[in-house]
Structure formats: structure tokens, C-alpha cells
Chain A
Amino acid sequence: MSQAVGINFKKSSIDALIAGFMALVLFGPIVGVVLDGYGFNTEFVRVAWMVAAVAVGRFVMSSFFQTEKGIAMAFRYANNDEGVEVLKPGHKSKMVWIIPLVIVIGLLVPFIASKYVLTVVILGLIYVLLGLGLNIVVGLAGLLDLGFVGFYAIGAYGLALGYENLGLGFWSMLPIAALMAAVAGAILGFPVLRMHGDYLAIVTLGFGEIIRLILTNWASFTHGPNGVSAPLPTFFGLEFKRRSSEGQTFHEFFNIPYDSAYKYMFIYIVLFAVVWAVLFIKHRLVKMPIGRAWEALREDEIACRSLGLNHVLVKLSAFMLGASTGGLAGVFFATYQGFVNPSSFTFFESALILAIVVLGGMGSTLGVVIAAFCLTVLPEMLREFAEYRVLMFGILMVVMMIWKPRGIVRVTRTGFAARKGVVK
């Protein structure tokens, strides 16, 4: 083996040359010739840099994968699609203190953070909720749902239109929107869940687009692209406005000066509580038979059906639960923005939520929470790179699938020990 560890530079150079030529063909027209009306401007320097970067990168990669380390690495990445990591029976995590700590910090945030930071954190939490919802569908049940934004839109428009037409407020719409989204999930899911995984992805994608097109075109009901305003939550009937047309407002009742940050504080605290409730419910569900059934179905559908599992019902339960979480997130989004219009519910939004789940690790709650914050808060902080955001998501999705298809945080599970008195 020892003599094999030489780098064949001739091979690397040929690889680099081919890669450089391909880069020239690809980048030459699109990057090098920028359309301007019916004429064009040229950007040849940019093309030269990109071609050089690709050629050098390919050369380094080709050389590295010829070394012993590189071969070992390539082998490891070719075989890393294993399932969950099983811990020893009776394993106790040393990280138990982290949950109370996060709760305490989370409750302190609205009182120390500025209004801007608070709005960013609220957005992050909304995406945590969306990520958790989609994680049940994609991560646990293995159903690729590309129309998740449809349920999000149902929740958001449910609040806005429910207020406009029926006078329903935030608190009554919160459960109703979750229910509405779940019903929509059932109506969509029941016929399509018998389908093959890839078909399901396209059908749900079509569903998300249908919802958006209806919201855009049914102008007499949804006001089309102009959007609808959504109400703010109330604190036991007290409004968070400067002046109220009826009754007292929040700051008048407590006799404190008006501050527009109060409403964000309140939304934050409610959202924080809801996220924890969803986290808790999900945590318990995964350990229940239904959660086990989701994961079993994801791993091997034919085996599950042979063992008598009703696969449509199991999938439907995951689909509806995920949808209702998406509906909840939609209500929060509408009240946080105070306004909804169809452009918030494009396919890109579905892809972003999917990126959160993929990056976080399919089925891993902690991973989804971290990824949701990374993907929503980081772009807010790096405003100057905002236009590269989508490109980054795309690259992230491809690279993660090749490198770590199970996400950054691996799912772990405590193993079972045989109880006393059980015959071995």
C-alpha cells in the first residue's frame, strides 16, 4: 500500500483542465455576456476568475482524493446513510440543565432586547414552528411535502379574513386556524398519501401553488395581490394600540406610557409558550406507538404494511399534525406582520422550511431549532449578502445531501434493557 500513496499530478492536471473547460462553457455565456435590452455588456474578468477558481479547486480536490487520507474520507462519505444512533440503556444526558436555562434566557429576551432584535427573534421562532411542523412530515414520517407553505398561508389568511368577515380575533383564530390547516391536510392527504414518495412531493407542490394562485386571483374575497390586514392579539381583551375605539388599551389599563414594543413582547411570549408546547407534544409523540409507527414507515413501508400497520392512517396523522403546526405559525406570522399578501407564500418559502429540516437533521428536534435560527437570523445580520441567500440555501441542500444526509444533529435514542423477570 505504501507505494500507492503518490499523487499522480498528470491525472490531476487533466481533471483540472476538463473542469476548467466545462466552467468556461457554463459560465462563459451566462456570466460573461450580460443582457442589456437587445444588446449586451461583457464581464470577461469575472468569467476568468470563476473558471480559474473551478480549475484550481478541481486540481486540489483531485490531488487530495489520491492521498491515503482522501481515499479514507471518500469511503466514509460513501457509506454514511445509517439510521439513528442508539445509546446504552439507562443513559442519562448530562445536558438536562440546558432546558431550564433556555427557558429562563428566552423569558428574559423581551425585556432586555431592543425592538429590532425582538422582531428578528420572533421571525426565528415562527420558522422554528414551521420547521417543527415539517419535521414531523418529512423527518419522522419520510413524506416529502413541498407545499407546506399552503398550510402556513391557510393559517395567516385564516386570521386576516376571519377578522375581516367574521370578526374573529387572534385568540379564537389560533385553534381554528390549526384545525382548518389540519382539515386541509386531511383533504389533500387522504387521496394522495397512497402514492409513491416522489409523486407526493409534486402533488403537494401543486397544492401549495394552487393555494397561492387562488389567493392572488380571487380578488373579491382575498383582495388579490393587495393583501389583507390582520389584527393584533389582545391581552384579556385589552388592545395594544395607542388609542382604542372601544374600551381601554393595554397601556391605559396599567397606567404606563405607550410603547409600540409591547405588542411584540406579547407576541413573543405567546409564541415562546406555543413553541414549547409543540416541542413537548412532539417529544412525547415520538415515544408513543404513533411516533414509532411514523419512523418505521419511513424506514420500510412494505415491512410495516406486512405487519398490519394501516399506512394511510399513520401517514395521515403525521400530515395533519404537521399541517396544523404550519397553520399555527401562519397565525403568528399574520399578527406579527399586521398584514398578509400572497407574495409571502411562494415556493421559495417551502424550500426554505425544507432547508431548515434538511440542515437540522431529519427527525431531530434540536437540529431543527438550531437550523431555523441560523437560516432566519443570520441573513438578517448579514444584510449585504442578502442576494446570495438563495444560492447559499441551494448549495447547502446539495452539499448536505452528499455529505451528511441525516443532518448536522444526529438523532439519538436510548436503548432498551430487558426487564427483570423476562426470560432471555
Chain B
Amino acid sequence: MDIVLQQLVNGLTLGSVYGLIAIGYTMVYGIIGMINFAHGDVYMVSAYITAIALALLTFFGIESFPIILVGTLFLTVAVTGAYGWVIERIAYRPLRSSSRLSVLISAIGMSLILQNYVQLSQGANQQGVPTLLTGALRFHVGDGFVQITYMKLLILFISILGMGVLTYVIQKTKLGRMCRATQQDRKMASILGIDTDKVISTVFVIGAVMAALAGVLVTLDYGAFDFYVGFIIGIKAFTAAVLGGIGSLPGAMLGGLILGLSEALFAGLISSDYKDVFSFSLLVLILIVRPSGLLGKPEVEKV
């Protein structure tokens, strides 16, 4: 019983991280209909920038945890956002009118570039960050106990905050209206005076910023990372996006939570060696049974 509860807690935090990354996939897919294959590697870049920001801040003698956290978040979000913008500008914008296959191949190329670029400049070894926030809440359940570390609470808090702000921006602000209009009909939106290229760039930046939030939180919690870390988590976040219905923002968050919870339960109760196999199989299964996902609209092909 305590294992199940503990895995539910772990799954909840894991799921909120998947949800944050899945937002990038789902928004980009919604607006230009492409799978941003390099998105997982944007997350990987943000993990490195987190460690670099931490090293810089400690080098300048800052020791209070809240300031370090805010400083790291700010730096990482800013630089990762710039990566998102530049990637769109270089690899995707020139291909706006090309076939979907070309754009996808270009995205795969971009993913390889990012991985090798980080590997060349930072080395192939695994890197790590020190644990900054320790301590946990413990609840006794029957014979055992369930433990929620403060770091996990922080992950939940910041991801809920990030998703809340994003939902507000998309639903209530002018920028959000422009995004939604472009998603519904790009040509019509541009006729109505919306600079769709700018909106698409913004969406890429938003995706990168959400991935950066996930990058900071996971790196602070887990500690270790390398240049290959974006690949697996990228596919899983994509699974989450598909599960929730690709193109749908609440779907990405819901899909992330469901995937995180089911993966944690699978790892805790059945086998942790095969948890990645479980996630990939889940992805294949969803795409076969219900490709439009839980909250997505079925895609209608038009001539």
C-alpha cells in the first residue's frame, strides 16, 4: 500500500514534468502541424544551462536558496527561450512551404546538431549539480510511510504555476488570441492582420520556456544529466502530448499526468527495467486505438 502511494507521489511530479515538456510539442503541432523533434534536446540544453547558472551564482558568492532558485530559473528560461527562437528561425522557417517530410528531417538534423554541439563544448561525461534543497514531509501509512521531499513539492508548485500562467496567457490576453487564431486558420489570421511568422516564433519560445522550467526542476531534483538526456524524455513527453490529444493544451497537461502516474506505478509494481518499453508501447497503442487522443479533435484530411 505504501509503495503504491509513494509511486503515486513520484508519478505526480514526473507527470507534471512530462506535461511541461509536452506543452512545447502540442503547441507547435497545433500551430504548424509539425513534430518538433529537437524539443527534447532543447530540454537537454536547459539542463546544462541550469548547472552553469548554478555554478556561476555560487561563484559570485550567492548562498540563499530562494535567490539561487529565482536566478537560475530566470537565466535558464531566458537562454533556452533564445534557443527556441533561433532553432525555429534557422531550421524551420525556410521550410514553411515544404513538405512535412522535409520539415521533420530538418528537425531530426537539428536534434543531432544540438546533441553534438553540447557534447563537443561540455564533454561527453555525465555532469551533476549539488543538492540544494533537502528535507521531506513524511506520512505514516499502515506499517510504512510515504515521503514527499520539499523538492518534489517545489516541482509541483512551479509546474502548476507555469501551466496556470500559460493558460491565462492563451485564454485571456491578446497574444493568446493571436495564437489561437493562427492555430485555427493560418491564412485567414494573416489576412486579418496577424503577423503569423511572429506568432509561430512566439509559440516556439513558449515551448522552450516550458521545457526550461522542466529542465531546471528535474536537474535540481535528480542532480545528474548528460547530453543524451533529452532523447528519452522527449519521446515520453511526446507520448504525453499524443495521449492527451496533440494540439490541445489541457490535453498535454492531462496526458503528462496520466503517463507519469502509470509509468511510476508500472516501475514500482512490475519492473523498472522495462518502464521505457512500457511508455513506448503505450504510445504505439494510443496511436493505433485513438490517434486523436483523449481531448483532441480527430484530424480530417482535406484535398
Contact = CB atoms under 8 A, between A and B. Distances in A.
Interface in B147-169: none
16 contacts: A29-B53, A34-B122, A38-B129, A81-B97, A138-B101, A142-B101, A198-B33, A198-B35, A199-B287, A201-B35, A202-B242, A303-B303, A348-B112, A391-B112, A397-B108, A398-B113
Interface string B277-290: 10011011001100
Interface string A211-227: 00110010000000000
A39 B49 contact: no
B101 A144 contact: yes
Interface string B72-91: 00010011001101100011
Given A35-B52, A207-B280, A348-B112, 6 more contacts: A39-B55, A201-B35, A206-B284, A393-B112, A397-B109, A398-B110
Given A213-B276, A393-B112, A26 B122 contact: no
B185 interface: no
A162 to B, nearest CB: 23
Contact of A391 (B97, B120, B128): B120
Interface stretch (A120-128, A188-196, A278-286, A364-372): A188-196
A358 interface: yes
A198 B299 contact: no
B275 to A, nearest CB: 10
A114 to B, nearest CB: 31
Q: Which 8 A-B pairs have the closest CB atoms?
A: A397-B109, A394-B112, A394-B113, A206-B280, A390-B116, A391-B116, A398-B109, A401-B106
B297 to A, nearest CB: 14
A253 interface: no
A402 B106 contact: yes
Contact of A192 (B34, B59, B242, B284): B284
A34 B49 CA distance: 10
A291 B111 CA distance: 32
Contacts of B98: 81, 401, 405
B117 A391 contact: yes
A75 interface: no
A214 B284 CA distance: 16
A55 to B, nearest CB: 14
Nearest to A142: B101
B103 A401 contact: yes
A351 interface: yes
B52 A29 contact: yes
B108 A354 contact: yes
A25 interface: yes
A33 B58 CA distance: 14
B239 to A, nearest CB: 8
B99 interface: yes
Contact of A354 (B59, B91, B105): B105
A115 B45 CA distance: 42
B13 to A, nearest CB: 23
Q: Which of B79, B105, B130 has the most CB of A within 10 A?
A: B105
A146 B101 CA distance: 12
A40 interface: yes
B235 interface: yes
A115 B238 CA distance: 46
A355 to B, nearest CB: 8
Contacts of B45: 30
Contact of A405 (B99, B121, B280): B99
A206 B242 CA distance: 13
Contacts of B235: 202, 205-206, 209
Contacts of A246: none
Nearest to B109: A397
B56 A395 contact: no
A297 to B, nearest CB: 13
Contact of B116 (A26, A29, A206, A388): A388
A394 B116 contact: yes
A316 to B, nearest CB: 15
B173 interface: no
Contacts of B119: 387, 390
B52 A39 contact: no
A207 B284 contact: yes
Contacts of A401: 95, 98, 102-103, 105-106, 109
B74 to A, nearest CB: 13
B286 to A, nearest CB: 10
B301 interface: yes
Nearest to A29: B52
A197 interface: yes
Nearest to A24: B82
Tell which of A31, A33, A34, A39 has the most Cβ of chain B within 10 Å. Answer: A33
Given A25-B82, A33-B52, A395-B113, A198 B108 contact: no
A142 B55 CA distance: 47
Contacts of A394: 109-114, 116
A207 B116 CA distance: 24
B48 A35 contact: yes
A397 B106 contact: yes
Contacts of B49: 29-30
Interface string A4-40: 0000000000000000001001101111011100111
Nearest to A33: B52
A209 B109 CA distance: 19
Contacts of B105: 144, 354, 358, 397, 401
Nearest to B114: A394
B231 A347 contact: yes
Contact of A203 (B90, B127, B283): B283
Contact of B280 (A192, A209, A355, A387): A209
Contacts of A303: 303
Contact of A26 (B53, B79, B95, B120): B79
A414 B303 CA distance: 29
Given A34-B121, A394-B113, A397-B109, A202 B35 contact: yes
Contacts of A396: 109
B83 A26 contact: yes
A302 interface: yes
Contacts of A33: 52, 55-56
A210 interface: yes
Given A29-B52, A210-B280, A390 B115 contact: yes
Interface in A365-413: 387-388, 390-391, 393-398, 401-402, 405
A397 B112 contact: yes
Nearest to A143: B101
From A35, A144, A217, A395, residue with most partner B Cβ within 10 Å: A35
A397 B82 CA distance: 22
